[in-house]
C-alpha cells in the first residue's frame, strides 16, 4: 500500500490572483457536476459481483442532517494477523471465513430491519456453502423488502444447485418480473426450463439473453444444445458456430457441430469436428489441471472477505457509522490489493472531509489497480488543485477525457481549469463544444457563450447564450449573460 503522505500547512500562491467574479458561475456549475460524477462513480466502481446487492457503492454525502451516532460503537476486532508466520495458510483461511461471518452478523445485529444487511448475510452464507442459513437470510430479506429481485435470483440459484429446477423456475420468474434486465437472469431461467423439459420456453429465454449479452458464448452454446434437442440441426450449427466466433477455445461447440453434421449426413464434416473437439478438449483438460495446481484457497478467501467488508462498510456509512465503515474499508484494502472499491470509498471519505493529503494516496492506489478509472482521475485532479499542484492536476484532467471520451465531466473540468488560469481559449472552446455535443443542456451552452464572448466571437456567443435561455428561460444568470453579450 502506498505510504500516506504527512499533512502539511496549505500555502496558497499569491499571484496571479484568480478572478472570482468571472468564474463564480462556472465553479458553481462544477460543484453540481461533482455530485453528478459521484453517481457515475457508483456505476463505474466495482461493486462486488455482477449480481451485486442494490446498495450504494460509495459513502453518502456527509451533511448536518445525517443521523449522528450518540456514542461511538466499539471498533471491529479482527482475530487473524496476516503477517503471523506461526499460522498456517489453512488457519488463516478458517479465521478469515469466521471473520467474514462475524462482521455481517454484527451489521445485522446493529440494523436488524435493514434489508441490505440481511441480504449480505445471505450472500456470505451462500458463498461459504451454508445453503440453509443463506435461504433463511434471503427469505428474511424478502420479508423486509418484497421487491428485491436479487434475493429471488439467489434463492433460484440455490434451488438450481440443489437440483430443484421447478423451485428455481418459480424464484427466477419472480426475479424476472421485478427486474427483467438483471444480468444473466434469462440465461439461468433458460437452464432451468431445459431441466424441466420445457425446451421452447428455454429457447425463448436464452434468445432474450443473447439480446442482452450478444458477445457471451455460453448463450449460443445453450441455444445450440436446445435446437439440437429439437432436431433443428441447421439452427443448432448456426449457434455453435456463433459461440466459436466469440471463443474458439471451447470444446462443447465442436462436439455439437459434429453431432449436427452427422445427423445431417455430412460425415466428413462431422469427422473434422470430432478431431477438433478432441484437440480442444485436451487443451481444456491441461488448463483445468494447471488451475487446480495453482488454486490457492486463502487468496480466494482474502478477496471474498475484502468484498464482504467493503459492502458492510457501505451499509454502515449510510447508517452514520462512518468510523466503523472506515475501519472496514481499511481492513478490506489490507486483505486484497486488487479491491478498487474499498480504496475509492476511503478516498471519497477523505475528499468529502477536505482531508486531501489523506485522500491522495488512496486515489493513486485506485489508479494503480485500475488505470482507466475515470472518476478516480477526476477527483485526483481536484485533489491536486487543492494542493496547488496545477501541473499534475492538468495531467489528471487530460487523462479523464482520454479514458472517458463519452462523458461530459472531464471536458468541462479541464475547460474550467484552463479558463480560470487564462489558458488557451481555443482549447477551452473546443472542450466546451465537445461537452455541448455530448450534453446539450443550458449550463453547457452558457459556458460556451462565455468562452465565445471572451474570445471575441460574438455571434457564436449570442447563439450559445440564446440556446441556454431557450432551454432555461427562468434562469436569471442566463438572462443577464444574454444582455451582456447583446450589449457588447
What is the C-alpha separation between 124 and 101, in angstroms, rounded?
7
Provide mean pLDDT across the span 80-104.
94
Asked if CATH classification 1.20.1260.10 holds for the domain at 20-56+332-487, the reply, yes or no, is no
DSSP 55: S
Structure confidence at residue 73 (pLDDT): 85
- How big is the chain, counted in residues? 488
CATH number belonging to the domain at 89-297, selected among 1.25.40.10, 1.10.150.120, 1.10.10.10, 3.40.50.720: 1.25.40.10
Question: 179: helix, coil or strand?
Answer: coil
pLDDT at 108 over 70: yes
> Does this chain's domain 20-56+332-487 share its CATH topology with 89-297?
yes
Mind listing the pLDDT tens digit for each residue in 424-440? 999 999 999 999 999 99
Q: Is the peptide bond before 160 cis (omega within 30 degrees of 0)?
A: no
Could you tell me if residue 197 is left (phi over 0), alpha (psi between -120 and 50 degrees) or otherwise beta? left
| Of 37-46, 64-73, 355-364, the least confident | 37-46
What would the DSSP string read from start to end of 315-374? Answer: HHHHTT-HHHHHHHHHHHHHH-TT-HHHHHHHHHHHHHTT-HHHHHHHHHHHHHH-TT-H
Structure confidence at residue 27 (pLDDT): 43
Joined together, the cell numbers standing for residue 442 give 443550458
Mind listing the pLDDT tens digit for each residue in 152-191? 999 999 999 999 999 999 999 999 999 999 999 999 999 9
List the one residue out of 21, 23, 130, 100 whose CA is nearest residue 385. Answer: 23
Provide mean pLDDT across the span 337-355.
96
What would the DSSP string read from start to end of 280-297? Answer: HHHHHHHHHHHHHHH--H
pLDDT at 5 over 50: no
Structure confidence at residue 224 (pLDDT): 97
What is the rounded average pLDDT for all residues in the chain? 87
pLDDT at 36 over 60: no
List the one residue out of 270, 203, 254 whose CA is nearest residue 230. Answer: 203
Ordered by start, the domain boundaries in the chain are: 20-56+332-487, 89-297
Structure confidence at residue 71 (pLDDT): 66
Q: Following CA atoms 414, 417, 421, 427 in sequence, which dihedral angle do they give, to the nearest 10 degrees? A: 20
Whether the pTM exceeds 0.85: the reply is: no
Structure confidence at residue 488 (pLDDT): 72
| Of 58-72, 145-159, 367-381, the least confident | 58-72
pLDDT at 51 over 60: no
pLDDT bracket for residue 202 (50, 70, 90): very high
pLDDT bracket for residue 9 (50, 70, 90): very low
What is the C-alpha separation between 96 and 93, in angstroms, rounded?
5
Structure confidence at residue 160 (pLDDT): 97
Question: 85: helix, coil or strand?
Answer: coil
Contact 221, 249 (CB under 8 A): no
What is the C-alpha separation between 39 and 276, in angstroms, rounded?
48
Mind listing the pLDDT tens digit for each residue in 385-428? 999 999 999 999 999 999 999 999 999 999 999 999 988 999 99
Q: Which residue do the cell numbers 482474502 mark?
A: 302
Share of the chain above pLDDT 90, in %: 83
Structure confidence at residue 70 (pLDDT): 52
Structure-model confidence comparison of residues 352 and 8, the more confident one: 352
| Of 59-73, 201-215, 408-422, the least confident | 59-73
Amino acid at each position: 500500500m502506498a505510504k500516506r503522505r504527512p499533512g502539511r500547512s496549505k500555502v496558497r500562491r499569491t499571484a496571479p490572483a484568480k478572478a472570482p467574479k468571472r468564474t463564480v458561475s462556472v465553479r458553481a456549475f462544477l460543484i453540481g457536476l461533482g455530485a453528478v460524477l459521484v453517481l457515475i462513480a457508483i456505476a463505474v466502481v466495482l461493486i462486488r459481483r455482477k449480481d451485486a446487492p442494490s446498495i450504494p457503492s460509495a459513502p453518502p454525502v456527509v451533511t448536518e442532517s445525517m443521523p449522528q451516532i450518540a456514542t461511538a460503537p466499539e471498533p471491529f476486532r479482527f482475530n487473524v494477523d496476516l503477517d503471523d508466520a506461526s499460522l498456517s495458510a489453512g488457519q488463516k483461511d478458517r479465521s478469515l471465513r469466521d471473520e467474514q461471518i462475524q462482521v455481517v452478523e454484527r451489521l445485522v445485529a446493529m440494523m436488524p430491519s435493514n434489508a441490505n444487511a440481511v441480504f449480505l448475510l445471505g450472500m456470505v452464507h451462500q458463498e461459504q456453502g451454508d445453503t440453509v442459513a443463506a435461504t433463511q437470510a434471503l427469505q428474511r430479506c424478502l420479508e423486509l423488502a418484497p421487491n428485491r429481485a436479487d434475493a429471488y435470483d439467489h434463492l433460484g440459484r440455490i434451488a438450481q444447485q440443489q437440483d430443484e429446477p421447478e423451485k428455481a423456475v418459480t424464484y427466477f420468474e419472480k426475479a424476472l418480473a421485478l427486474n427483467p434486465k438483471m444480468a444473466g437472469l434469462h440465461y439461468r431461467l433458460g437452464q432451468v426450463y431445459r431441466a424441466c423439459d420445457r425446451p421452447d420456453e428455454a429457447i425463448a429465454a436464452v434468445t432474450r439473453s443473447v439480446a442482452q449479452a450478444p458477445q457471451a458464448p455460453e448463450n449460443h452454446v445453450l441455444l445450440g444444445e436446445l435446437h439440437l434437442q429439437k432436431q433443428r440441426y441447421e439452427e443448432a450449427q448456426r449457434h455453435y458456430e456463433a459461440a466459436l466466433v466469440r471463443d474458439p477455445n471451447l470444446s462443447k461447440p465442436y462436439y455439437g457441430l459434429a453431432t449436427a453434421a452427422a445427423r445431417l449426413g455430412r460425415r466428413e464434416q462431422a469427422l473434422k469436428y470430432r478431431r477438433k473437439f478432441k484437440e480442444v478438449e485436451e487443451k481444456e483438460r491441461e488448463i483445468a489441471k494447471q488451475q487446480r495446481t495453482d488454486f490457492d484457497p486463502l487468496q480466494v478467501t482474502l478477496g471474498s472477505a475484502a468484498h464482504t467488508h467493503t459492502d458492510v462498510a457501505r451499509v454502515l456509512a449510510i447508517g452514520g457509522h462512518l468510523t466503523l465503515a472506515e475501519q472496514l474499508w481499511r481492513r478490506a484494502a489490507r486483505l486484497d490489493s486488487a479491491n478498487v472499491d474499498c480504496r475509492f470509498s476511503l478516498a471519497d471519505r477523505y475528499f468529502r472531509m477536505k482531508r486531501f493529503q489523506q485522500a491522495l494516496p488512496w486515489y493513486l492506489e485506485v489508479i494503480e489497480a485500475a488505470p482507466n478509472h475515470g472518476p478516480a482521475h477526476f477527483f485526483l485532479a481536484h485533489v491536486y488543485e487543492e494542493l496547488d499542484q496545477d501541473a499534475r492536476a492538468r495531467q489528471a484532467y487530460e487523462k479523464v477525457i482520454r479514458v472517458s471520451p463519452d462523458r461530459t465531466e472531464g471536458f468541462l473540468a479541464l475547460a474550467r481549469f484552463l479558463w480560470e488560469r487564462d489558458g488557451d481559449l481555443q482549447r477551452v472552446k473546443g472542450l466546451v463544444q465537445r461537452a455541448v455535443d455530448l450534453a446539450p443542456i443550458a449550463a453547457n451552452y452558457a459556458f460556451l457563450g462565455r468562452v465565445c464572448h471572451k474570445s471575441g466571437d460574438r455571434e457564436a456567443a449570442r447563439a450559445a447564450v440564446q440556446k441556454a435561455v431557450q432551454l432555461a428561460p427562468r434562469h436569471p444568470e442566463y438572462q443577464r449573460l444574454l444582455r451582456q453579450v447583446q450589449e457588447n
